[in-house]
Structure 1
């Protein structure tokens, strides 16, 4: 397989509201749900899969079938030899379109060490956000302002005191184009009116400090390990004086291509912003998930070309070779971890 494949909407059932922004972005109607998993080899875990949904819900579908099946049949062609070997035939990447219709819970995600020891996974859930759309008052909460004692966090959780949790966090107004880095362990929440492209490790591991209002019980909120252990996932350090660690400054790569995350994110994911006014060639080939965010043009690879326009998403096999954009088009090229 050498040609990129178009990815249609792939909504996944989750516990919070939203999704209208994804419909607008894709130019469709009649779908539901705030999360569209793009270029996904990852299924929603059985423990949180609602009844009646297929076991592989979350895995992307293409005109040629399940993306997971395609990659399994030709891991080197899709991922390249090094990436296929590094993660046992997985890309190590999950990309989402996420459109929040209500505030998400205050939560964090476990790191790789915790995931290996307690969850049977080589992946934790470090993530990064690229804001696609935001209402004028759209906000996120990112990290604690000042260090919080573990006993205080436990008291807030036991009392489901969401107001205290949010008051202790850095509240940020966000705007389209903004980039935010969310390392594993960082407490965070996304407010209504925020739509993002999210890059993350390919798991659904979340520890929900704020869970009762969302109909989630303590067992699911702690990934089944209980609060005594789950609390160790939280980064309780203060970030008021070091928010720059969470707000990366884009770095030029080649003309028309900007790297959106700091080098510290490379072991988890990479993202290039392509701003093409005529022709832009990407600096290296490889597996990628492409989210076209504006304009229209053409994507070329070693064996062909296809038109691209705002709202289109694609998955690109490593065997496609070097990619070139033509026309007046902007896109986010989501890349797997550097291996």
Structure 2
């Protein structure tokens, strides 16, 4: 495989509502589902897979078949030898289009260390958001304003006192183009009317402090670990005076190209924004989300027309990508290896 492949709408069933902005972005008829897993080799875990859905729900489909099957058949061609070896044929990356129709629950995700010790996983779930669209005044909540004691959080959870949880957090009004970094452990929630491209480690691990309103039971809310252990996932430190760490400034990489996340995120994922005529400096497995304009994507002798709403998966063997004309795109890349 030496050329990019288009991946189309890949909605995954989850416990909250939304999805209208995904359909509008893609220019497709309205469809249910607030999460579209893009260029995904990840499956929705069997424990939370609704009845009637296939076992590989979550894996992207291309004109050449399942992306997981394609990568398994040629891991070095798709991922490059170092990445194929590092994670056993997994790119270490999951990209989502996420459109919150309601406020998501207050929750956090385990770190890699916690996931390796308690969940049998190489990956935790550090993530980052690039806001594509947002209603005026739409908000997200990131981290606690001031340090919260474990006992207070446990009491809020026992009482399902969502108002107290939200009141203790940093509320941020967001707008298109904004970038937010969400390290594992950070309590957070996304408000209604926020549509993001989410880059994350390839797991579905979430510890939900706020769960009854979403029809989730305590066992699922704690990943089956119980609150004594699951509560240790939460970073309860105060972030009011260190929000800059969660609001990264872009790093220029050259004309028409910049890195949207700070270097701290490179070990988990990278997002490069390409605007206009630009050639990327490296060849890599990539997931491309075209956020604006129209033009062409060149790989070697192949030229593919692309426009806003298109999503593609790119094998490392395709060589460095070149964008032409008025295209604006987010190139989502795997973790930078040591």
Provide TM-score, normalisation by structure 1.
0.99
Local SS of the residue matching 2:326: strand
Work out whether 1:306 is the aligned partner of 2:293.
no
Distance 2:262 2:6 in 1: 29
Q: Does residue 86 in structure 1 map to residue 86 in structure 2?
A: yes
- The alignment status of 1:158 with 2:158, answered yes or no, reads yes
Q: Deviations over 1:210-229 (max 9, x none)?
A: 00000000000000000000
Query: Structure 2 regions of 5+ residues with no counterpart?
Result: none
Provide the residue aligned with 1:318 in structure 2.
316
Q: Is the 1:39–1:315 Cα contact (8 Å) retained in structure 2?
A: yes
Q: CA deviation at 1:302?
A: 1.5
**How far is the alpha carbon of 1:329 from its aligned partner?**
1.0
Give aligned pairs, total.
337
RMSD of Structure 2 on Structure 1 (CA): 0.5
Query: 2: distance between equivalents of 1:263 and 1:15?
Result: 33
Contact 2:24-2:30 at 8 Å conserved across structures: no
Shift of 1:303: 3.6
Contact 1:125/1:203 (CA < 8 Å) preserved in 2? yes
Q: For 1:332, which of 316, 330, 333 is the aligned residue?
A: 330
2:222 is equivalent to residue 222 of structure 1: yes
3-state SS in 2 of match to 1:125: coil
CA distance in 1, matches of 2:58, 2:320: 28
C-alpha displacement at 1:300, in angstroms?
Answer: 0.1
8 Å CA contact 1:2–1:303 kept in 2: the answer is no
Asked whether the 8 Å contact 1:303–1:320 carries over to 2, the reply is no
Match of 2:127 in 1: 127
Partner of 1:15: 15
User: Is structure 2 residue 64 aligned with structure 1 residue 64?
Assistant: yes
> 2: distance between equivalents of 1:134 and 1:295?
19
Task: Give the corresponding residue for 2:6.
Answer: 6
Counting only pairs closer than 5 Å after superposition, residues 112-191 of structure 1 correspond to structure 2 as 112-191=112-191
TM-score, normalised by the number of residues in structure 2: 0.99
Structure 1: how far apart are the matches of 2:15 and 2:199? 20
Residue 305 of structure 1 and its aligned partner are, at CA, apart by: 1.1
Q: Offset at 1:259?
A: 0.2
2:117 alignment partner, SS class: helix
Deviations 1:71-101 (A, max 9, x none): 0000000000000000000000000000000
- Partner residue of 1:287 out of 278, 285, 304: 285
- Distance, in Å, in 1 between the alignment partners of 2:112 and 2:96 is 20
1:54 corresponding residue in structure 2: 54
Structure 2 CA distance, aligned partners of 1:208 and 1:202? 18
How far did residue 139 of structure 1 move?
A: 0.2
Find the counterpart in structure 2 of residue 234 from structure 1: 234
Q: Which residue of 1 aligns with 2:193?
A: 193
Does the 8 Å CA contact 1:107/1:210 hold for their aligned counterparts?
Answer: yes
Q: SS where residue 117 of structure 1 aligns?
A: helix
Distance 1:288 1:79 in 2: 9
| Secondary structure, counterpart of 2:327 in structure 1 | strand
Which ranges of structure 1 fall in alignment gaps of 5 or more residues? none
Cα-to-partner distance string for 1:188-242 (whole Å, 9 max, x where unaligned): 0000000000000000000000000000000000000000000000000000000
SS of residue paired to 2:185: coil
For the residue of structure 2 that corresponds to 1:140, the secondary structure is strand
